[in-house]
């Protein structure tokens, strides 16, 4: 059984088709890269899959739940982190995690232990009572990821999680992603960085709302006859 | 329940950690009520006038005594003719002149009538009409006494209901309470919701299984609480400093205020549900809610004298109903049976606004 299964998923805004009959499957524990230029339809696709937006036609199942009828159950089984850093700056690290943990229904006693364990893994346990506004961006991104997986979701959507972050923190961030995937969490990640695409198990390249290419990085490189995903992308755009 | 508690906690943290806004929101009611109380007062004391007494008999002197004793006027000159009166207006800064005709006493006793002439400086219309009313009141008082003495003619007894001293405090306190509540609850709740949209935390919240009504309650309750503190402060100042009475039950008054805060806060949410940024929310609140509240609530300008369109439009804004109700409770001492309709209107408005905001939050289509 697949973790994510999209079938002819389509979203139209008036005349404009943002997502155009996309079909793809993602296995459990897989890291699936969602590539494409801005406006290619990645964010709209993620919004539909996470229950923020209803599709115009087509369907998808997320962790086995139908996005048309079971959005409540989907919301409980996914985690989400957006390109825009979006924890509360005037709350402390601990308060942020406590807020989202409580919303996801983690029992209070367990919540505190989980937060502290998670912060220790990030080596941020000393910052528990620091206001989020006053920690560096890279740490904020790691914190946002830790918060997104605190309730142990089956699937995590990462919408350009590393944009604006320096290369060292990006590498650390990908370590976290691998760690989560090794525990069986399915990761769907969008990114601008082509080197990051190489880290994914499989990638898809979207344009004009459609998935134009899909496969493992190796397959795509062979298919296009080039050495890097960057070249795949360049060649694809020129085509 | 745990979820709602946590969301409320988060909102209170937002308020408490934003020290400047908190200070502003708490100090503003007190500053505003003092400002209005001491500056907008429409009561005039010791206005300068001159009196041209062409009779100089015992009755005319009695009338002049009455005028000076009223406290409203201070006679600064006794001109001899009308030319001098003109000079008094220009040089002595008098606001009003009274001319008592010759043979005043004779005319009163024989013809039972006499014409007083009052000359006004109408360069300030408000002052002129207020002073004119004062003169009328004083002369009326004088006439009544005269008639009683002479056992002749008719007798008018005026009883000033609900505001025996014609104090302007009675007008502005309900108005100020309204403004404060609208400003704090509607503006603050609309801005904080718009801020969450702007920073992206709203999307973060909406992607979680959080109940949307909890988000709404979280935005309403804390600002109602803050604004309630402000309302209490205004009431205390109004009663102690400006001698505003609370003739109805205090409990009724507080319930009324809480309901109005609920309506205002939900109006704020309605505004933020149609705006994307904090600036949008602020502009829409100012133009779409605050201005109409000042202009169309009947607080500064009487609704009856407005064109029909505005009188109808005024019904849409909660402030009108609240001011009607709060005046009834504070001044007339009305109870629930007199104002239940206003309360019902305010509650229905709140429910409609909240339902609309909820559907806007849940725009999955």
Instruction: List all residues 6 or more positions away from B320 whose beta carbon is below 8 Å from its beta carbon.
Output: B296, B297, B298, B303, B314
Residue A65 located in a structural domain: no
Check CB contact under 8 Å for A103 and B208: yes
Read off the CATH number of the domain in which A121 is found: 3.40.50.300
**The predicted structure's pLDDT at residue A207:** 87
Query: Chain B: nearest CA to A102, how far in angstroms?
Result: 6
Residue A49 located in a structural domain: yes
**The predicted structure's pLDDT at residue B43:** 67
Residue A19 located in a structural domain: no
**The predicted structure's pLDDT at residue A131:** 95
3-state SS, residue B118 = strand
Strands B73-77 and B117-120: unpaired
Residue A4 located in a structural domain: no
**The predicted structure's pLDDT at residue B346:** 96
Check CB contact under 8 Å for B209 and A104: yes
Check CB contact under 8 Å for B199 and A84: yes
Residue range of the domain that includes A90: 28-53+71-238
Judge contact between B198 and B313, C-beta under 8 A: no
Task: List, for residues B28-85, the tens digit of each pLDDT value.
Answer: 888 888 887 777 666 677 888 999 988 888 888 888 888 888 888 888 889 988 888 8
CATH for B47-150, options being 3.30.160.20, 3.40.190.10, 3.40.1710.10, 3.40.1000.10: 3.40.1710.10
Block mean pLDDT (10 aa), chain A, length 239:
91 92 94 88 90 91 93 92 84 96 94 95 91 90 93 93 86 92 94 86 91 91 87 80
Closest listed residue to residue A102, CA positions, set B362, B200, B4: B4
**The predicted structure's pLDDT at residue A195:** 84
**The predicted structure's pLDDT at residue B266:** 92
Q: Give all strands (DSSP E) within B88-174, no chain letters.
A: 96-100, 117-120
Residue A184 located in a structural domain: yes
CB atoms within 10 A of CB B302: 8
**The predicted structure's pLDDT at residue B84:** 87
Residue A205 located in a structural domain: yes
| DSSP letter assigned to residue B101 | P
**The predicted structure's pLDDT at residue B165:** 65
pLDDT below 70 — which residues of chain B?
A: 40-43, 149-158, 160, 164-168, 363-365
Task: List, for residues B300-335, the tens digit of each pLDDT value.
Answer: 777 888 888 888 989 989 999 999 999 899 888 888
**The predicted structure's pLDDT at residue B180:** 81
Residue A10 located in a structural domain: no
Pairwise CA distance, residues B152 & B156, whole Å: 12
* Residue pointed to by tokens 């004793």: B69
Mutate to test the interface with A, among B14, B16, B207 (most CBs of A within 10 A): B207
Which residues does chain B have within 8 Å of residue A75's beta carbon, measured at their own beta carbons? 207-209
Residue of B nearest to A57 (CA): B365
Chain A to chain B Cβ contacts (< 8 Å): 68
**The predicted structure's pLDDT at residue B36:** 78
Distances (CA, A) of B259 to A229, B4, B33, B227, B326: 61, 21, 21, 12, 12
| DSSP letter assigned to residue B300 | S
**The predicted structure's pLDDT at residue A176:** 92
Closest listed residue to residue A153, CA positions, set A103, A94, A92, A204: A103
Q: How far apart are the first and last CA of chain A?
A: 35
Which residues does chain B have within 8 Å of residue A80's beta carbon, measured at their own beta carbons? 204, 207
Check CB contact under 8 Å for A102 and B6: yes
Pairwise CA distance, residues B138 & B132, whole Å: 10
Number of domains in chain A: 1
């Amino acid at each position: 059984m697949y973790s994510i299964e999209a079938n002819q998923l389509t979203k139209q805004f008036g005349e404009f088709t943002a997502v155009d009959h996309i079909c793809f499957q993602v296995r459990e524990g897989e890291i699936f890269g969602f590539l494409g230029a801005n406006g290619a339809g990645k964010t709209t696709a993620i919004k539909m899959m996470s229950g923020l937006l209803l599709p115009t036609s087509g369907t998808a199942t997320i962790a086995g739940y139908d996005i048309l009828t079971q959005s409540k159950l989907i919301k409980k089984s996914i985690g989400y982190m957006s390109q825009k850093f979006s924890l509360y700056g005037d709350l402390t690290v601990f308060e942020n995690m406590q807020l989202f943990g409580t919303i996801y229904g983690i029992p209070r006693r367990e919540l505190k232990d989980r937060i502290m364990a998670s912060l220790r893994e990030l080596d941020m346990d000393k910052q528990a009572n620091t206001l989020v506004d006053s920690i560096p961006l890279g740490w904020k991104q790691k914190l946002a990821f830790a918060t997104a997986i605190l309730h142990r979701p089956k699937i995590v959507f990462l919408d350009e999680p590393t944009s604006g972050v320096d290369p060292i923190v990006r590498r650390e961030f990908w370590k976290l992603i691998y760690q989560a995937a090794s525990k069986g969490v399915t990761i769907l990640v969008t990114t601008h960085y082509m080197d990051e695409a190489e880290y994914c198990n499989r990638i898809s390249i979207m344009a004009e709302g459609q998935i134009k290419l899909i496969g493992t990085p190796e397959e795509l490189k062979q298919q296009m006859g080039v050495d890097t995903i960057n070249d795949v992308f360049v060649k694809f755009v020129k085509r | 329940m745990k979820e709602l508690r946590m969301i409320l906690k988060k909102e209170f943290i937002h308020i408490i950690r934003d020290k400047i806004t908190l200070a502003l929101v708490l100090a503003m009611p007190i500053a505003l009520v003092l400002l209005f109380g001491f500056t907008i007062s429409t009561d005039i004391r010791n206005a300068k006038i001159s009196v041209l007494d062409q009779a100089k008999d015992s009755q005319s002197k009695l009338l002049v005594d009455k005028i000076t004793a009223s406290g409203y006027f201070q006679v600064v000159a006794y001109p001899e003719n009308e030319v001098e009166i003109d000079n008094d207006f220009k040089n002595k800064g008098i606001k009003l002149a009274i001319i008592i005709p010759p043979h005043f006493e004779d005319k009163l006793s024989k013809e039972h009538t006499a014409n007083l002439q009052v000359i006004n400086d109408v360069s300030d219309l408000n002052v002129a009409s207020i002073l004119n009313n004062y003169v009328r009141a004083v002369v009326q008082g004088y006439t009544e006494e005269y008639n009683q003495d002479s056992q002749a003619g008719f007798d008018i007894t005026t009883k000033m209901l609900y505001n025996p001293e014609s104090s302007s405090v009675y007008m502005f306190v309900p108005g100020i309470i309204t403004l404060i509540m609208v400003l704090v609850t509607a503006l603050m709740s609309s801005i904080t919701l718009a801020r969450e949209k702007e920073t992206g935390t709203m999307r973060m919240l909406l992607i979680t299984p959080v109940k949307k009504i909890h988000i709404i309650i979280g935005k309403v309750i804390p600002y109602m609480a803050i604004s309630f503190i402000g309302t209490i402060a205004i009431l205390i100042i109004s009663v102690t400093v400006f001698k505003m009475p609370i003739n109805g039950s205090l409990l009724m008054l507080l319930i009324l205020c809480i309901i109005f805060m609920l309506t205002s806060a939900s109006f704020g949410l309605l505004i933020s549900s149609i705006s994307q940024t904090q600036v949008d929310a602020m502009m829409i609140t100012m133009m779409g809610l605050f201005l109409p509240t000042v202009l169309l609530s009947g607080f500064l300008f009487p609704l009856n004298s407005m064109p029909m369109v505005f009188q109808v439009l005024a019904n849409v804004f909660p402030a009108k109903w609240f001011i009607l109700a709060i005046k009834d409770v504070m001044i007339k001492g009305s109870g629930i049976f007199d104002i239940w309709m206003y309360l019902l209107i305010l509650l229905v408005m709140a429910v409609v606004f909240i339902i609309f905001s909820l559907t806007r939050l849940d725009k999955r289509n």
